[in-house]
Amino acid sequence: MRTSRKLLISALLIIVLTVAAVPLLNLTVYTPARAAEAYISAIEDANAEQAFSYLSSPTPSSTLALNHDVLSAAPDLPRDPEATTVSMDGDHAKVSLSYVLSSQTQTVDLSMVKLPARAGLFDRWAIEQKEWPTLDLQVEGSSTATVNGYGVSAGTVPVLFPATYLVGFDATYLKSKPERAEVIAPTDTAEIAMSPEPTAKLEQAVDEQITEHLQKCVKSKTLYPSGCVFGYDTDNEILGDVKWSLARDPEVSLTASGNDLELTPSTVEVRIQGRYRDIVTAAEHDFDETLSFVMGGSVVVKSSKVSFDPRRLGDISVK
């Protein structure tokens, strides 16, 4: 009986001492500054779940880049956090936070908000984000991109700060060189415009469309095949139909200029055969000539579909 009484007294004493210590711990340990430092430490450890516990944020529009895998694959994460509580006003506080990212010391001012206490006693502070920091991915020709190697939808992508992100895209027909972006503060939006570069599959798709276009054109029996980039000029009277054939295929390669894709100018040769009546002598003759011209054109990739618009660059020469 005496043992039970002693244990009860000891337990009550511990509770009394703990309750008495709470104000001191809230002033020295569970502070806004310590919470900000703990958040940076969680990001440094790529512990997204732990980092979320130090954030007071709206529901993100996408969680694809808000995870351990994206953080752990980051080129750089923060370290050496140091924070100072600048002011407190009830359930709100201002904190000055510094940390090192990519060998540069960064300093940001944070708004902190008090959350429901732990165990009803110890203060909990969180970084107040009215909006998520984001990557604004402007991608021509692709609806997806990659952030630190992980697929996301192009457009506005919520991310955790502070961190360095490597952004790119590698679609079936288009790819880009990786772009580096740093998100420093909870209010940051990093805008990244990625220019497309053609893949081998795109060049193959364009080659097939050019071949189809030219083969259709040479099936024509007129001097000016409809919708084609070549034709035959003559003052003589053409007798009957003419016969076209392809004498030299273009060499297909693509050039990217900003967000535009162009067929690299290439020489095409077509052969025309037929019979004509001379307008001066009225004599009839067969003719067999090769026409040479430079072919160009623009390429558009939209919704995973490729379209090629051919152009003739300059005049046709006759051999």
Mark the ranges of the chain whose per-residue pLDDT is less than 50.
1-2, 6-22, 24-28
Start and end residues for every CATH 3.10.450 domain found in the chain: 2-128, 200-318
pLDDT of residue 139: 82
pLDDT of residue 186: 94
pLDDT of residue 191: 94
The encoded tokens of residue 292 equal 């040479």
Its sign, for the CA torsion 273, 274, 275, 279, is negative
Q: Exposed, middle or buried by CB within 10 Å (0-12, 13-18, 19+), for 170?
A: middle
Rounded distance between C-alpha atoms, residue 226 and residue 230, angstroms: 9
pLDDT of residue 119: 57
β 104-118/134-139 pair status:
unpaired
For the question of whether the overall pTM of this predicted structure is more than 0.85, the answer is no
Please state which of the four CATH numbers 2.40.50, 1.10.3470, 3.10.450, 3.30.1490 is assigned to the domain occupying 200-318. Answer: 3.10.450
Q: What angle do CA 293, 301, 305 make, to 5 degrees?
A: 105
Rounded distance between C-alpha atoms, residue 105 and residue 98, angstroms: 7
Start and end residues for every CATH 2.60.40 domain found in the chain: 134-198
Q: Answer whether 106's CB lies under 8 Å from 79's CB.
A: no
* CATH annotation of 134-198: 2.60.40
pLDDT of residue 175: 87
pLDDT of residue 133: 97
Q: Which residues contact 77 (CB under 8 A, 6 or more apart)?
A: 43, 44, 46, 71, 101, 163, 164
Please state which of the four CATH numbers 1.10.357, 3.10.450, 3.30.70, 2.60.40 is assigned to the domain occupying 2-128. Answer: 3.10.450
Residue whose C-alpha is closest to residue 261's, from 300, 288, 212, 203: 300
